């Protein structure tokens, strides 16, 4: 009974507080609405935005004494468009003969005076702030509690240029920019289908970043689209500055070394993903868009594979898979063989390696770690240095340090060759996030090879295989089409079949299986008989 009385007392005391909270929330919502008085609205905007020099407020009036104000952010709008808008409103408003008719003047502004496209209404102060920071011009009218927002987006922005991270010899040379609308237009130009859907979200309580979800209705799996929206809606953070923020919030296996979301800087790669049933996430402020769901084998496919002939594309793809294995395994295999399994080497090679290592004071593991870490430092220095001297510093540094280390007897010449070839193989992988995964796994396999030899390396590879078979990307198995086996998807995994053979889209990803018609193999014309 004592506990019951205590609980009832707490409930009675907490009930008025809840009512007070509800009342305060309601008052906050009423305060956010626009006032019919122009001065009150302008004072609220000045108080909220502070004395920012880029917030331009112009108060105007016409001959009928209708007072109105135009508000915009300098640098986010196209200044000639704003000046033209002000001139048109000022010129046409002098022709009105509706004194003291606020509603009529508002309709006149909305339907006749504003000639730019994308005119919308706003009823709350937060809607005005959002419109201003998206490059809109806000028009407030005295005596009216509704504002108009005109689309005057502009300012200095980087134009469409060739992608810097995913270059091709044959193919389009245009890349995404930091502007969301330019990026969506690049995709819309490639997929002129009415089924293309571009759905906008705003994520980040302070940055208010625009995020677009793009997919092809009828081709993308509706469950995958719903899952993408669900994961994006669960993001509650104050800032989104790049697509990497979104990637870490929505990926399936955040503690896995292997990436489960692909990113690209190429509009043609994004359009190809959409046509295969993938969902594209475009984030304002970055040229890198996200593609999901993806499989392990997608990271070894380049856009150029589909622009070159299928035979050379298949050959280059096999080279990429081989380079991935070399990037992961070569240093660990060298350490394991030279430490535990010398009998596997030919006698001549074994004698040469032993002669090289005769004066080296470090074991093979420490020697490899020293060289790998040195190369990682050089690689990072080449990225951070100014673009003019960065490549020169990295190349010269690698050559000079490598030669000096061999002459000083700190490392063997064979180790320099192994580390160099490993680094070159890592650059062959098209996706940088998969290349980074190979670099991280390499160090773990080096430790296993130095302690357990080939048995340790095989054990590590088995763990990696089990791990990759267990993870998914938005419900799609990561090792599909091998686990589970999907035969129709094998046409575009290790080798690329000719286009006239790939008449179906990938299973488990797309909802519409048919891509093209059957029996499209080209053939020479039949000879005609002479008359």
pLDDT at 310: 92
**CA-CA distance, 245 to 216, in Å (whole number)?**
24
pLDDT 10s per residue in the chain (531 long)?
454 444 444 434 433 333 333 333 333 445 588 888 889 999 999 988 887 888 999 888 776 567 888 999 988 888 888 888 888 777 766 555 555 667 777 777 777 777 777 788 889 998 899 889 888 899 998 888 889 898 888 877 788 888 888 888 888 999 999 989 899 999 999 999 999 999 999 999 999 999 999 999 989 999 999 999 999 999 999 999 999 999 999 999 999 999 999 999 999 999 999 999 999 999 999 999 999 999 999 999 999 999 999 999 999 999 999 999 999 999 999 999 988 988 888 888 888 888 887 778 888 899 899 888 888 888 887 777 776 666 666 666 666 777 777 777 788 888 888 988 998 999 999 999 999 999 999 999 999 999 999 999 999 999 999 999 999 999 899 999 998 888 888 888 999 999 888 888 887 788 878 887 777 888 888 777 665
pLDDT at 93: 62
**CA-CA distance, 351 to 347, in Å (whole number)?**
6
Contact between 266 and 253 under an 8 Å Cβ cutoff? The reply is no
pLDDT at 379: 82
pLDDT at 26: 36
pLDDT at 94: 59
- Residue that the structure tokens 């390696």 belong to: 353
Contact between 390 and 380 under an 8 Å Cβ cutoff? The reply is no
Contact between 452 and 459 under an 8 Å Cβ cutoff? The reply is yes
Peptide bond just before 410 cis, omega within 30 deg: no
- Three-state SS sequence of 424-449: HHHHHCCCHHHHHHHHHHHHHHHHHH
Contact between 284 and 178 under an 8 Å Cβ cutoff? The reply is yes
**CA-CA distance, 28 to 234, in Å (whole number)?**
24
pLDDT at 392: 64
- Residue that the structure tokens 């952010």 belong to: 73
301 CB burial (10 A radius; 0-12, 13-18, 19+): buried
* 38 phi and psi angles, rounded to 5 deg: -65, -40
pLDDT at 114: 75
pLDDT at 16: 36
Contact between 257 and 440 under an 8 Å Cβ cutoff? The reply is yes
pLDDT at 27: 39
**CA-CA distance, 339 to 365, in Å (whole number)?**
9
pLDDT at 87: 82
Question: In terms of Cα–Cα distance, which of 464, 426, 435, 460 is closest to 446?
Answer: 460
Q: In what order do the strands lie in the sheet with 147-151?
A: 55-61, 67-73, 136-141, 147-151, 120-122
Question: CB-based contacts of 371: which residues, under 8 Å, 6+ apart?
Answer: 402, 405, 411, 415, 416, 419
pLDDT at 266: 94
pLDDT at 7: 40
């Amino acid at each position: 009974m004592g506990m019951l009385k205590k609980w009832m007392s707490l409930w009675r005391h907490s009930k008025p507080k809840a009512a007070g909270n509800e009342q305060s929330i309601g008052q906050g919502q009423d305060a956010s609405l626009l006032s019919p008085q122009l001065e009150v609205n302008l004072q609220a905007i000045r108080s909220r935005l502070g004395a920012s020099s880029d917030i331009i407020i112009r108060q105007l009036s016409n001959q009928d004494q209708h007072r109105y104000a135009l508000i915009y952010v300098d640098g986010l709008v196209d200044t000639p468009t704003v000046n033209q808008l002000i001139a048109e409103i000022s010129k046409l408003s002098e022709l009105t003969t509706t004194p003291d008719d606020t509603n009529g003047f508002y309709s006149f502004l909305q339907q006749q005076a504003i000639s730019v496209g994308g005119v919308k209404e706003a009823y709350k102060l937060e809607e005005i702030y959002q419109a201003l920071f998206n490059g809109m011009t806000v028009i407030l009218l005295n005596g009216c509690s509704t504002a108009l927002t005109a689309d005057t987006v502009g300012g200095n922005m980087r134009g469409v240029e060739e992608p810097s991270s995913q270059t091709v010899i044959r193919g389009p040379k245009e890349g995404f920019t930091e502007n969301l609308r330019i990026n969506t237009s690049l995709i819309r130009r490639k997929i002129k289908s009415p089924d293309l859907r571009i759905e906008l979200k705003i994520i980040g309580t302070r940055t208010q970043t625009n995020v677009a979800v793009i997919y092809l209705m009828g081709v993308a799996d509706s469950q995958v689209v719903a899952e993408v929206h669900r994961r994006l809606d669960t993001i509650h953070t104050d800032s989104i500055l790049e697509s990497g923020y979104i990637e870490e919030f929505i990926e399936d296996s955040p503690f896995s070394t292997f990436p489960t979301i692909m990113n690209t800087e190429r509009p043609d790669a994004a359009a190809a993903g959409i046509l295969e049933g993938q969902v594209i996430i475009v984030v304002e402020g970055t040229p890198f868009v996200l593609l999901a769901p993806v499989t392990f084998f997608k990271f070894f496919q380049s856009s150029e594979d589909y622009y070159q002939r299928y035979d050379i594309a298949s050959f280059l793809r096999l080279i990429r898979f081989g380079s991935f294995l070399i990037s992961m395994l070569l240093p660990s295999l060298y350490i394991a063989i030279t430490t535990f399994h010398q009998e596997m080497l030919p006698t001549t090679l074994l004698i040469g390696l032993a002669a090289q290592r005769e004066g080296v004071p470090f074991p093979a593991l420490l020697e490899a770690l020293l060289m790998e870490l040195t190369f990682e430092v050089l690689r990072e220095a080449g990225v951070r240095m100014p673009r003019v001297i960065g490549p020169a510093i990295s190349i010269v540094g690698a050559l000079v340090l490598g030669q000096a280390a061999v002459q000083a007897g700190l490392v063997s010449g064979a180790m320099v060759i192994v580390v160099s070839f490993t680094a070159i193989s890592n650059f062959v992988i098209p996706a940088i996030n998969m290349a980074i995964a190979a670099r991280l796994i390499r160090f773990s396999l080096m430790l296993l090879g130095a302690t357990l030899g080939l048995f340790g390396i095989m054990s590590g590879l088995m763990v990696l295989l089990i791990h990759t078979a267990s993870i998914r990307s938005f419900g799609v198995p990561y090792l599909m089409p091998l686990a589970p086996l999907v035969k129709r998807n094998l046409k575009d995994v290790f080798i690329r079949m000719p286009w006239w053979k790939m008449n179906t889209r990938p299973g488990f990803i797309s909802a519409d299986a048919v891509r093209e018609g059957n029996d499209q193999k080209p053939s020479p014309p039949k000879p005609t008989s002479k008359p």
